[in-house]
Amino acid sequence: MRIAITGTPGTGKTAVARLLARRLGYRYVDLKLLAEKKGAVCGYDRSRRSKIVDVALLEKVLPPGDLVLDGHFSHELEADGVVVLRTAVEELARRLRARGWPARKVRENLQAEIFNVCGEEAAALHRQVLELDTTRLKSAATAAAAAKWIATLK
């Protein structure tokens, strides 16, 4: 089974994906790292200030077997289920500012969260999508909720 963990930066994808992979006995995949390693980064989007990833190429170099995919574009890959992590704007602002990110980058990501960009894209591409709010939940509780849902997937 392949599970994609998506969401705006700072919503807790990496924290939750690692715990979830351990819990399920699945392999954890950092998609950004894999894309860089396999030469699947095919450009840079200046307006969005983010790397453009060749998703088709990335799909080909993914390891076989049960995977938990971590990345804000993980929903663009094939998956049996997609977990979208959401966070209240005030809390997300706190997490992103704590990273020392410039105000503009924080604002852009808060906007993406307000418009639920990842969630909308995931819903357009996949049949089995779960949204989880990590504002008050701890990472472990979030991973537990995801695992419970995954157990119901076909």
Residues in touch with ligand ATP (CB under 6 A)? 7, 9-16, 72, 95, 134, 137-139, 142
Contacts of 63 (CB under 8 A, 6+ apart): 27, 29
Q: Of the two residues 119 and 152, which places its CB atom closer to Mg ion in the complex?
A: 119
Site string for Mg ion, 2-41 (x = CB under 5 A): -----------xx---------------------------
Q: Is residue 50 within the footprint of Mg ion (CB under 5 A)? A: no
Sheet holding 2-6, edge to edge: 27-30, 67-70, 2-6, 81-86, 129-133
Q: Is 72 left (phi over 0), alpha (psi -120 to 50) or beta?
A: alpha
Shortest distance in whole angstroms from residue 126 CB to ligand ATP? 18
Q: Which residue has tokens 């909308």?
A: 120
Residues near Mg ion (CB under 5 A) are 13-14
